[in-house]
């Protein structure tokens, strides 16, 4: 490998338009695409410029475009190796010989020493690397760099169990789900229970109740917690006093009888009682005061273990909720993190200082996720006890609300000045804008796919199957510059092979079946690659009809 940094010839005497097109091509922005009717749509320079800007490029002049192209071309030479290297079973890693052209005209060599370490940081011998995400350490004479390497039926029910309202607080909870699993598994011989996304929501109508535009896809909606199963709720005198009042019981009855799920009222009631339960938990389960709380009961140790295992992502999620709660009291109820003081808009040092001062409240939101996770895992254990072949079948949304916790935590890999959607078709002649910020594929890869890996792991762990919404996004995604109509959007390409390898790897690790929602316009080669990776296809049963209108036989469905 030789690196000599000089002016790239093609950039000399190029027009601004040609430089813009070249950079857009490098960044994976397609020059054109065909819609479902076969009509050709050309990507305008205005759209190219807006999407490149959303990706973080400066493209306002010939000079800035030239500089961006130079940096793009030099980037592979400035880093010793790619941030991610996909290795399939039996393959060996690349061998590199590096030379430098020195200023005196001589050539100098750089000595490389490769080591593969597993996730426990232990050195793995050649030929002994199994599936996983080991870190390859590349040692140089003048320093080191680290990169991540990826080595890579039954009948059931599909339901939105939030609509079950007879025996709860107006919305189906994890106890209801457990009852359904028992009934379907024992009485019907069901092997799978399909669910709506259980992602965390703000639970405020009308804009923050869609599970497909969640607060965070990494964590659970606290609305599904069954308070009456919590020992600290049952043991809290104040919680029980409020719970048993005629006024509170009348409110619950109204919530159960409501034609629609009243997200705001249920969320408020549950948050109030969770607060009281948590206070009881702190009093009984810990000694001392923050920041020197000492666990003294088995439940306290379980919470501490959960917090430790979840690590930084949960810490930031709970910190965000604490900050959001505070800022809405100080600023205004609808304030989002984009409205916060500048020092709080990114998870940096000021946030770490804030977290030290608000440890007790942050632990409360960690406690909520622990309780939710524990109750959902109890349902998963029921599916295993009943020997269900698959068990819980979860749904994973394409993206998250730009004003939510996930977008704040992972903003460095999101294109917040763009939306994703779909091009015009027969169902939506003007196209679709889903209002979700797309992931920047270049920033995602540079981060070693941290968000994608965390997302998959958090959603794989409590079920036997997951459905990935709009799996085409692993290959390409329709971007729309923020504030523009969908007709001005275009496709951006993604590192399909890398993302598919990560899905396959995490699926094997967790023994979870993966289904890709591949409805709509999907090229045949994409479905072929998905099938090769054992990602199952998805079909809407009532739409699967032959030319004569008759239902298709099972033999015509994807294998």
pLDDT tens string 441-483: 999 999 999 999 999 999 999 999 999 999 999 999 999 999 9
pLDDT tens column, 348-380: 999 999 999 999 999 999 999 999 999 999 999
pTM of the model: 0.86
Question: What token pair was written down for 551?
Answer: 């239902």
Residue 151 has pLDDT above 50, yes or no: no
Section 303-316 average pLDDT: 97
Section 401-424 average pLDDT: 97
State residue 296's pLDDT score. 93
Residue 2 has pLDDT above 80, yes or no: no
Pairing of strands 135-140, 113-117: antiparallel
CA distance 265 to 484: 35
7 vs 28, which has greater pLDDT? 28
Percent residues over pLDDT 70 in the chain: 85
Q: Counting beta carbons within 10 angstroms of the beta carbon of residue 555, is it exposed (0 to 12), middle (13 to 18) or buried (19 or more)?
A: exposed
Q: What confidence tier does 521 reach under pLDDT thresholds 50, 70, 90? A: confident
State residue 475's pLDDT score. 96
| Least confident span in 75-84, 107-116, 484-493, 521-530 | 107-116
Residue 141 has pLDDT above 50, yes or no: no
State residue 97's pLDDT score. 63
Residue 276 has pLDDT above 90, yes or no: yes
pLDDT tens column, 13-65: 689 999 999 999 999 999 999 887 888 999 999 999 999 999 999 999 999 99
State residue 95's pLDDT score. 62
pLDDT tens column, 203-226: 987 778 999 999 999 999 999 999
| Residues shown for the chain | 559
Using only C-alpha atoms, the chain has a radius of gyration, in whole angstroms, of 26
State residue 161's pLDDT score. 84
Strands (E), 205-274: 216-220
State residue 559's pLDDT score. 67
Distances from the Cα of 552 to the Cαs of 519, 545, 549, in angstroms? Answer: 16, 5, 9
Question: What token pair was written down for 472?
Answer: 């085409």
How many C-beta atoms lie closer than 10 Å to residue 99's C-beta? Answer: 13
Handedness of CA 324, 327, 328, 331 (dihedral sign): negative
Q: What confidence tier does 108 reach under pLDDT thresholds 50, 70, 90? A: low
Section 171-178 average pLDDT: 96
Contacts of 429 (CB under 8 A, 6+ apart): none
Section 226-234 average pLDDT: 97
217 vs 543, which has greater pLDDT? 217
């Amino acid at each position: 490998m030789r690196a000599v940094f000089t002016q790239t010839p093609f950039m000399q005497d190029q027009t601004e338009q040609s430089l813009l097109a070249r950079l857009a091509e490098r960044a994976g922005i397609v020059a054109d695409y065909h819609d479902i009717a076969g009509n050709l749509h050309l990507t305008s320079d205005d759209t190219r410029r807006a999407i490149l800007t959303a990706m973080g490029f400066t493209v306002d002049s010939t000079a800035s475009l030239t500089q961006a192209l130079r940096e793009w071309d030099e980037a592979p030479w400035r880093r010793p190796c790619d941030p991610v290297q996909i290795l399939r079973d039996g393959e060996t890693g690349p061998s590199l010989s590096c030379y430098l052209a020195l200023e005196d005209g001589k050539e100098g060599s750089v000595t490389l020493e490769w080591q593969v370490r597993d996730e426990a940081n232990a050195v793995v011998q050649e030929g002994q690397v199994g599936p996983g995400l080991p870190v390859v350490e590349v040692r140089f004479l003048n320093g080191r760099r680290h990169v991540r390497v990826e080595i890579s039926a039954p009948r059931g029910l599909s339901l939105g169990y939030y609509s079950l309202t007879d025996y709860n607080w107006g919305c189906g909870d994890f106890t209801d789900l457990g009852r359904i699993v028992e009934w379907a598994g024992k009485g019907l011989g069901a092997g799978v229970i399909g669910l709506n996304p259980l992602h965390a929501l703000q639970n405020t109508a009308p804009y923050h109740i869609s599970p497909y535009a969640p607060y965070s896809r990494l964590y659970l909606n606290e609305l599904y917690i069954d308070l009456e199963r919590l020992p600290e709720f049952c043991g809290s005198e104040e919680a029980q006093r409020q719970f048993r009042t005629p006024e509170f019981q009348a409110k619950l009855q109204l919530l159960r009888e409501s034609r629609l799920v009243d997200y705001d009222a249920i969320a408020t009631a549950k948050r109030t009682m969770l607060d009281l339960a948590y206070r009881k938990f702190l009093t009984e389960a810990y000694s001392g005061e923050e920041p020197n709380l000492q666990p003294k009961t088995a439940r306290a140790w379980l919470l501490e273990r959960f917090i430790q295992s979840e690590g930084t992502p949960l810490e930031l999620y709970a910190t965000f909720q604490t900050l959001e709660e505070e800022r809405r009291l100080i600023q205004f109820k609808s304030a989002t993190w984009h409205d916060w003081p500048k020092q709080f808009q990114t998870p940096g040092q000021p946030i770490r200082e804030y977290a030290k001062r608000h440890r007790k409240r942050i632990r409360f939101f960690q406690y909520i996720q622990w309780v939710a996770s524990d109750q959902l895992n109890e349902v998963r254990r029921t599916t295993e006890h009943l020997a269900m072949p698959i068990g819980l079948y979860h749904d994973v949304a394409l993206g998250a609300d730009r004003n939510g916790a996930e977008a704040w935590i992972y903003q460095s890999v999101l294109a917040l000045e763009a939306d994703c959607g779909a091009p015009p078709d027969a169902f939506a002649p003007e196209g679709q804008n889903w209002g979700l910020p797309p992931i920047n594929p270049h920033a995602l890869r540079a981060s070693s796919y941290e968000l994608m890996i965390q997302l998959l792991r958090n959603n794989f762990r409590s079920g036997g199957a997951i459905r990935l919404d709009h799996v085409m996004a692993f290959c390409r995604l329709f971007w729309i510059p923020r504030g523009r109509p969908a007709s001005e959007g275009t496709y951006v390409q993604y590192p399909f092979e890398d993302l598919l390898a990560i899905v396959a790897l995490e699926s094997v690790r967790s023994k979870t079946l993966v289904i890709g929602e591949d409805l709509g316009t999907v090229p045949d080669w994409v479905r072929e690659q998905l099938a090769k990776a054992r990602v199952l296809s998805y079909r809407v049963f009532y739409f699967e009809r032959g030319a004569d209108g008759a239902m298709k036989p099972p033999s015509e469905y994807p294998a």
